[in-house]
Amino acid sequence: SEAALRLLVAAPVLAVTTMVCGMLITALAVRLLSRAITPGPHRADGAVAWRAWLVTRLLDESRAGLFPLYASLATPYWLRLLGARVGRGTEISTVLPLPSLLDVRDGAFLADDTLVAPYELHGGWMWLGPVRIGTRAFVGNSGIVGPGREVPDRALIGVLSDAPADGRAGTSWIGRPAMPLPRVAEHSDPARTFAPSRRLVAARAAVETCRLLPVVLGTLL
């Protein structure tokens, strides 16, 4: 029928419009709240701690409500919109950061459920600090880079592992607390890793566009 046809045409527009509005509202809220988020100790029941907690909750919820933005080519742009400093050629999945305290350098890789620049609570205080992920550094699934920590260039933090306080460039770490892990660097074609061709990027973008289909179907239902 004509009504069904109109609905089919309107659904993609409504779905994309809803997602864009959600993006902008979330980004605006995170930006405003982040103005008062500064490194250092803060009372756990104070205004800064409340803001840091709320930013974390907003971004945790966005990983579900705005899931097409995560683990995709759009993720670095999304994090920049939130206030993070993100370099070129980065690969970022379902990361959970405090964006205003995050600095990700060129070619870095952040896997699923990584916590970067999270807050730490102890003794009635919340500790906040900047985090830097170095050039071509790797943080594995559910890895944690705590406040004030740095992952050096080409360093690797393993799955379910903490970033150490004394890591050096090119080293690998695993566990909580982190222990050094011997690793022999394997050279691979940059066109398959850090510098993919335009054809590969375009093919990936086409595939990732299909992630909007569940959003459109949800709008129809």
Residue-wise pLDDT tens for the chain (221 aa)? 677 777 777 888 888 888 999 999 999 999 999 999 999 999 999 999 999 999 999 999 999 989 999 999 999 999 999 999 999 999 999 999 999 999 999 999 999 999 998 999 999 999 999 999 999 999 999 999 999 999 999 999 999 999 999 899 999 999 999 999 887 667 777 777 778 889 999 999 999 998 888 887 777 77
Q: Are 79 and 60 in contact (CB under 8 A)?
A: no
CA distance 191 to 203: 14
Nearest Cα residue to 131 out of 158, 95, 160, 159: 95
Contact criterion met (CB below 8 Å) for 125 and 147: no
Indicate the Cα dihedral angle 179, 180, 185, 186, nearest 10°. Answer: -30
* Domain ranges, residue 30: 2-220
Between strands 138-139 and 156-157, the pairing is: parallel
- Domains identified in the chain, total number: 1
How many secondary structure helices (H) and strands (E) does the chain include?
Answer: 5, 16
End-to-end CA distance of the chain: 17
Q: Domain containing 131 — which CATH number? A: 2.160.10.10
CA dihedral sign, ordered 139, 142, 143, 144: positive
Give this prediction's pTM: 0.91
